[in-house]
């Protein structure tokens, strides 16, 4: 689409109405209905959530109290007993869904597997029984480091079944990053695979696990290995076990443990503003309800849908919207192991065509990359089964939105731009596709039960188009409960950044946003030291610590620079130790060092060597200035606190 067409769309403030045909069968059909539900939830949030908890989920024992709010600590459905694996599996077995496809899986080499609810239930029970044999008990933590194969979901559900919280570590993280997470979570068991397929190559997962355990994760007693790629790996007798061997002869029945609603379901590590990732803790009942209802309404899940979320299970999107949300709803969830690659740039569209995918959910970075590959790939496939599209992870630029709408959605599919975070558990601001008129680039309106606002640091609402901090004012069932082992960090990071005069606790998300005249939210991106690169969250401090751990590096400052495809790209400003010389070989080595410390997702795009970094008189690095430099912009704003002004001139001179 030409520049001028896009401009005219923006100037016209073009609106996209939900298609009538879509609205007629949708769970939420009109904007009036949305408003009614929203008001109902606002006037009585506890009543609203309690009614849904009762009608949408199965409980072993009802709660005494809907919400116990001791700011900033929330308990939902106090004393309720529930199991999310039961809600995702067992309750469907007594209905016609018993033999419905729960998971449709497509491997990158083209192999595939479909598991009905009954089959998935059996495998989950078997794995849960194997976990028990390996000494895993309720409350023990299990690390999951897996490719995108059904056993990843099976392992998560098996953990949930016996009440052992999982911590899934994205398969793209390095051995070191894996080790740190296993140590922090004190994992007793690791579930992994020999390898996984990605872009026609094998990701050597088991080898990484071996390295992590050599580096030291003393609590890990056993490793359960799924055979996927069948390449040669080391198996340590007594510690490492093949899943297919232990699975033989194990019972396909395993009762779901009645969990307290507030028992921990999982820990998921995410980047923050310090060098150490935070273990975000989610619990059982509230998370189950929240992912269930948000998935149902925002994606309008129907029994006829083939729903495909392209995220990896290692991220929150995979947890909430590949596994728990869809299965709790009895939906058909598609899992794909691969990624677009030189040998098949159109592989995603092959999958849509092969399975008749009706709902497709991906990230703006992926959309921009697909756009670059050219529309001949989607155009060569039949995508007419699609009825709804979604995006998540970063702000979507109107060009990408329009391409997605026209080329993938054939100008007929609504697009839900869902704003949320690892911490929020599920969608917070999102269109409801049968009801909400959309505007390209806006996540539109808050989900019922969510009181979102844009405020200044005192918590005062800022008006109109003025940007401010995006906050949430009332607890919601899917919210994180704490940072694992660090209540204090939880309080400080999320609840004490905004300080209203009345002492109220307000959740601050780390994002900046503004609201337009229709009350639509436009998320602008992170306002803290977190970079959103290709939809992955990385802390600048995390990358800096990785760099400084290299013997040549004295100091490092990392910033994000706008990138056409990835949204943001990492630029590292580095000063070297004494005699070390800046050259291309060292630049390469440092990039590789970051990959080794964190993983390929953190590889800096650019390293700029410099003699000095711009600092305030108190010694704080002024990242704001570096961000402007990295983006090639003029330095605006106040530089009066800069300790040594000549540093800037040197950096500008092309250090």
Is residue 295 involved in binding ligand WTA (CB under 6 A)?
A: no
Among 72, 195, 459, 510, binds ligand WTA (CB under 6 A): 510
Is residue 472 involved in binding ligand WTA (CB under 6 A)?
A: no
Helix axes 285-298, 45-56, angle to 10 degrees: 90
297-326 binders of ligand WTA (CB under 6 A): 315-317
CB of 270 to ligand WTA, least distance (A): 5
Between 208 and 422, CB nearer to ligand WTA: 422
CB of 398 to ligand WTA, least distance (A): 13
Among the candidate windows 223-231, 300-308, 418-426, 479-487, which touches ligand WTA by CB under 6 A? 418-426
Among the candidate windows 69-77, 138-146, 291-299, 417-425, which touches ligand WTA by CB under 6 A? 417-425
Is residue 526 involved in binding ligand WTA (CB under 6 A)?
A: yes
Spatial contact of 157 and 88, defined as CB atoms under 8 Å apart: yes
Among 204, 286, 393, 425, binds ligand WTA (CB under 6 A): 393
Among the candidate windows 83-91, 177-185, 494-502, 520-528, which touches ligand WTA by CB under 6 A? 520-528
Between 349 and 522, CB nearer to ligand WTA: 522
Task: List, edge to edge, every strand of the sheet that includes 468-472.
Answer: 452-455, 468-472, 507-515, 521-526
Among the candidate windows 4-12, 35-43, 95-103, 420-428, which touches ligand WTA by CB under 6 A? 420-428
**Rounded CA separation 80/64 (Å):** 7
Among 151, 394, 399, 529, binds ligand WTA (CB under 6 A): 394
Among the candidate windows 68-76, 192-200, 332-340, 389-397, which touches ligand WTA by CB under 6 A? 389-397
215-254 binders of ligand WTA (CB under 6 A): none
Question: Quick one: tokens of 14?
Answer: 């073009």
Size of residue set near ligand WTA by CB under 6 A: 23
Between 222 and 418, CB nearer to ligand WTA: 418
**Rounded CA separation 310/388 (Å):** 14
Is residue 420 involved in binding ligand WTA (CB under 6 A)?
A: yes
Is residue 432 involved in binding ligand WTA (CB under 6 A)?
A: no
Between 286 and 425, CB nearer to ligand WTA: 425
CB of 489 to ligand WTA, least distance (A): 16
Between 196 and 393, CB nearer to ligand WTA: 393
206-229 as b/e: b if 16+ CB within 10 A: bbbbbebbeeebeebebbbbbebb
**Rounded CA separation 182/213 (Å):** 9
Between 329 and 418, CB nearer to ligand WTA: 418
Is residue 532 involved in binding ligand WTA (CB under 6 A)?
A: yes
In Å, how far are 269, 327, 617 from 278, measured between CA atoms?
A: 5, 27, 30
**Rounded CA separation 294/535 (Å):** 21
Give Cβ neighbours of residue 652 (< 8 Å, ≥ 6 apart).
629
Is residue 537 involved in binding ligand WTA (CB under 6 A)?
A: yes
β-bridge partners, 169: none
Spatial contact of 574 and 609, defined as CB atoms under 8 Å apart: yes
Among 392, 506, 541, 586, binds ligand WTA (CB under 6 A): 392
CB of 367 to ligand WTA, least distance (A): 12
CB-hemisphere CA count at 13 Å for 126?
A: 18
118-137 binders of ligand WTA (CB under 6 A): none
Question: Quick one: tokens of 609?
Answer: 């060597």
Between 346 and 449, CB nearer to ligand WTA: 449
Among 213, 509, 543, 559, binds ligand WTA (CB under 6 A): 509
DSSP state string for 415-441: EEE-B--GGGSS-SB---TTT--B-TT
DSSP state string for 522-562: EEEEESSSEEEETTEEEEHHHHHHHHHTSTTEEEEEEEEEE
Q: What residue is closest to ligand WTA based on CB?
A: 422
Closest residue by Cα to residue 550 from 530, 575, 571, 583: 575
Among 63, 105, 419, 573, binds ligand WTA (CB under 6 A): 419
Between 316 and 347, CB nearer to ligand WTA: 316
Among 208, 261, 329, 422, binds ligand WTA (CB under 6 A): 422
Is residue 270 involved in binding ligand WTA (CB under 6 A)?
A: yes
Is residue 443 involved in binding ligand WTA (CB under 6 A)?
A: yes
Closest residue by Cα to residue 568 from 522, 601, 597: 601
**Rounded CA separation 210/647 (Å):** 45
Give Cβ neighbours of residue 472 (< 8 Å, ≥ 6 apart).
424, 428, 450, 451, 452, 453, 506, 507, 509
SS3 216: helix
Contact positions vs ligand WTA (CB under 6 A): 270, 315-317, 392-395, 417-422, 443, 509-511, 523, 525-526, 532, 537
């Amino acid at each position: 689409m030409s520049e001028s067409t896009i401009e005219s769309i923006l100037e016209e403030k073009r609106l996209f109405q939900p298609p009538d045909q879509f609205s007629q069968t949708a769970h939420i059909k009109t904007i009036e209905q949305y408003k009614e539900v929203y008001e109902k939830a606002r006037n009585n949030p506890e009543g609203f959530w309690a009614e849904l908890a009762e009608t949408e989920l199965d409980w072993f024992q009802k709660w005494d109290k809907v919400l116990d709010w001791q700011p900033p600590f929330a308990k939902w459905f106090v004393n309720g007993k529930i199991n999310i694996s039961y809600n995702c599996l067992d309750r469907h077995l007594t209905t016609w869904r018993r033999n419905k496809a729960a998971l449709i899986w497509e491997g990158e080499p083209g192999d595939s597997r479909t598991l009905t609810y009954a089959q998935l239930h059996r495998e989950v029970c078997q794995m849960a029984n194997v976990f028990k044999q390996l000494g895993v008990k309720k409350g023990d933590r299990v690390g999951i480091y897996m490719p995108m194969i059904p056993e990843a979901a099976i392992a998560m559900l098996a953990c949930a079944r016996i009440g052992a919280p999982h911590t899934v570590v994205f398969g793209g993280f390095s051995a070191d990053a894996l080790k740190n997470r296993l140590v922090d979570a004190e994992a007793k068991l690791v579930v992994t695979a020999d390898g996984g397929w990605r872009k026609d190559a094998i990701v050597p997962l088991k080898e990484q696990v071996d390295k992590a355990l050599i580096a030291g994760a003393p609590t890990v007693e056993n490793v359960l290995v799924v055979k996927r790629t069948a390449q040669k790996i080391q198996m340590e007798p007594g510690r490492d076990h093949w899943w297919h061997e232990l699975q033989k002869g194990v019972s396909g029945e395993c009762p779901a443990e009645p969990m307290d609603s507030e028992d921990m379901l999982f820990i998921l590590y995410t980047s923050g503003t310090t060098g150490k990732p935070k273990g975000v803790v989610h619990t059982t009942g509230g998370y189950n309800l929240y992912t269930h209802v948000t998935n149902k309404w925002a994606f309008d899940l129907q029994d006829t849908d083939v729903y495909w979320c392209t995220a990896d299970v290692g991220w929150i999107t995979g947890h909430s919207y590949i596994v728990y949300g869809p299965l709790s709803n009895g939906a058909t969830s598609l899992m794909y192991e691969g990624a677009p690659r030189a040998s098949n740039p159109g592989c995603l569209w092959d999958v849509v065509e092969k399975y008749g995918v009706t709902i497709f959910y991906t990230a703006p970075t992926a959309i921009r990359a697909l756009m670059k590959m050219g529309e001949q790939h989607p155009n060569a496939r039949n995508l007419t089964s699609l009825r709804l599209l979604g995006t998540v992870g970063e702000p979507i630029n109107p060009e990408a939105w329009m391409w997605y709408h026209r080329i993938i959605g054939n100008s007929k599919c609504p697009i839900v731009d869902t704003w949320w975070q690892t911490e929020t558990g599920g969608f917070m601001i999102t269109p409801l596709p049968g009801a909400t008129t959309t505007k390209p680039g806006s996540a539109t309106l808050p989900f019922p039960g969510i009181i979102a606002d844009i405020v200044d640091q005192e918590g005062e609402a800022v008006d109109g188009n003025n940007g401010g901090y995006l906050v949430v004012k009332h607890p919601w069932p899917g919210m994180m409960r704490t940072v694992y082992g660090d209540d204090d960090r939880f309080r400080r990071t999320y609840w004490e950044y905004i300080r209203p005069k009345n002492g109220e606790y307000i959740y601050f998300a780390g994002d900046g946003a503004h609201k337009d005249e229709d009350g639509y939210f436009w998320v602008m991106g992170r306002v803290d030291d977190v970079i959103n690169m290709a939809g992955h969250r990385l802390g600048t401090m995390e990358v800096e610590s990785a760099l400084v751990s290299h013997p040549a590096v004295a100091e490092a400052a990392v910033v994000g620079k706008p990138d056409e495809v990835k949204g943001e790209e990492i630029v590292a400003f580095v000063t070297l130790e004494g005699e070390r010389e800046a050259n291309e070989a060292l630049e390469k080595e440092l990039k590789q060092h970051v990959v080794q410390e964190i993983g390929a997702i953190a590889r800096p795009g650019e390293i700029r060597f410099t003699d000095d970094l711009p600092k305030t008189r108190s010694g704080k690095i002024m990242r704001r200035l570096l961000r402007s430099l990295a983006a090639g912009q003029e330095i605006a704003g106040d530089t009066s606190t800069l300790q040594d002004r000549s540093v800037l001139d040197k950096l500008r001179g092309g250090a």
